[in-house]
């Protein structure tokens, strides 16, 4: 037990130091701007925001839309503060405990499919497809399992779509996604730098999917998720689809393959939310605590 406690303290201190060095751009851990996650996320957000402001789909939607600043806070909380509070440290303890458990059965290396000999492009493509496919199924679980849906309701409480709506989600979703992704990802020899690239690409696509943009990418809409498709995922009225539609994260192809694609007409002015969303608190702390209080 002391070993796990020491591991927690070590990784807590290490992440706090890493985050501070990123924010202050310290020469101690200097890296190119495109590898600084803190400022890369801010830059990406500003670029997509600029695109949606220059060519908005819903002309009557305010540039600073409803709950914009709340969603902006979610960005810093979910991507940085949550990890500092303890997620990063706890997850590392969990990984160590899981590896210790595997050692009881003589398993000392979880990697069973090594692709490091493949070309860099092939590795990135495989990782991107694998992460997105796992995330698609996890997203369906968030809608299908009542307990998980309580947490996912925070994301669906968005009433006006804009890029920052991508960032509003309950911290429990991070635990669910990462836990489900861990074993299959650990079984393949991916590098941390490759995962960073895939993560940034997925973030960019996610920002665009939630942006106030009249985009569907033409014929590529059957492969790439897009704003005109994803807005239907947030529709309050999704017809005879009680468990949701359009679950794609980066790719729409999974929805077309598994018959969950739904775009009955132009969704520019549809009402967003879910039945009962009026009960969702307006503030951050209220939304974080709401799933633990909900009985439905």
- 194: number of Cβ within 10 Å: 16
Residues 6 or more apart whose Cβ sits within 8 Å of residue 16: 84
Q: What is the DSSP letter of 114?
A: -
Distances (CA, A) of 272 to 65, 84, 107: 14, 32, 48
| CA distance linking residue 209 with residue 213, whole number of Å | 8
Sign of CA dihedral 122, 125, 131, 135: negative
**Total structural domains in the chain?**
1
pLDDT at 28: 65
SS3 201: helix
Work out the angle between the directed axes of helices 2-24 and 37-54 (0-180°, nearest 10). Answer: 50
pLDDT at 35: 82
Helical H runs in the chain?
2-24, 37-54, 68-76, 82, 88-103, 120-144, 146-152, 171-186, 192-210, 227-233, 253-257, 284-293
Digitized pLDDT (tens) for each residue of the chain, 296 residues in all: 778 887 888 778 889 988 888 888 876 666 777 788 999 999 999 999 999 999 999 999 999 999 999 999 999 999 999 988 888 888 878 777 877 776 777 767 776 677 777 888 888 999 999 999 999 999 999 999 999 999 999 999 999 999 999 999 999 999 999 999 887 877 776 666 778 889 999 999 999 999 999 999 999 999 999 999 999 999 999 989 999 999 999 999 999 999 999 999 999 999 999 999 999 999 999 999 999 987 75
| CA distance linking residue 74 with residue 185, whole number of Å | 26
35 touches 50 (CB < 8 A): no
- For residue 99 the two structure tokens come to 């590896």
* pLDDT tens for each residue of 8-45: 887 788 899 888 888 888 766 667 777 889 999 999 99
* pLDDT tens for each residue of 225-266: 999 999 999 999 998 999 999 999 999 999 999 999 999 999
Residues 6 or more apart whose Cβ sits within 8 Å of residue 67: 158, 159, 160, 168, 282
| CA distance linking residue 205 with residue 253, whole number of Å | 14
| CA distance linking residue 257 with residue 291, whole number of Å | 32
Which residue segment(s) compose the domain that 205 sits in?
2-293
pLDDT at 27: 64
pLDDT at 76: 96
| CA distance linking residue 75 with residue 166, whole number of Å | 9
């Amino acid at each position: 037990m002391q070993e796990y406690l020491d591991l927690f303290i070590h990784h807590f201190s290490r992440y706090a130091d890493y985050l501070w060095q990123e924010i202050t751009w310290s020469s101690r851990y200097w890296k190119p701007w495109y590898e600084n996650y803190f400022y890369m996320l801010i830059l990406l957000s500003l670029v997509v925001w600029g695109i949606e402001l220059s060519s908005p789909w819903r002309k009557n939607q305010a540039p600073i839309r409803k709950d914009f600043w709340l969603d902006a806070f979610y960005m810093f909380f979910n991507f940085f503060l949550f990890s500092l509070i303890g997620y990063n440290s706890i997850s590392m303890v969990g990984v160590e405990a899981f590896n210790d458990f595997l050692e009881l059965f003589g398993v000392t290396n979880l990697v069973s499919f090594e692709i490091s000999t493949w070309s860099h492009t092939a590795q990135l493509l495989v990782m991107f497809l694998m992460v997105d496919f796992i995330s698609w199924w996890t997203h369906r679980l968030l809608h299908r399992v009542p307990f998980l849906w309580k947490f996912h309701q925070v994301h669906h409480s968005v009433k006006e779509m804009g890029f920052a709506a991508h960032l509003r989600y309950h911290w429990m979703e991070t635990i669910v996604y990462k836990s489900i992704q861990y074993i299959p990802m650990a079984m393949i020899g991916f590098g941390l730098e490759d995962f960073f690239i895939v993560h940034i690409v997925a973030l960019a696509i996610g920002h665009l999917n939630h942006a106030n943009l009249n985009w569907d990418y033409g014929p590529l809409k059957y492969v790439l998720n897009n704003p005109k498709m994803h807005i239907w995922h947030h529709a309050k009225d999704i017809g005879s689809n009680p468990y949701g539609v359009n679950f794609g994260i980066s790719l729409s192809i999974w929805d077309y393959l598994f018959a969950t694609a739904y775009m009955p007409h132009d969704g520019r002015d549809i009402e967003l939310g879910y039945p009962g969303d009026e009960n969702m608190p307006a503030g951050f702390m209220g939304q974080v605590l709401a799933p633990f209080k909900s009985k439905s």
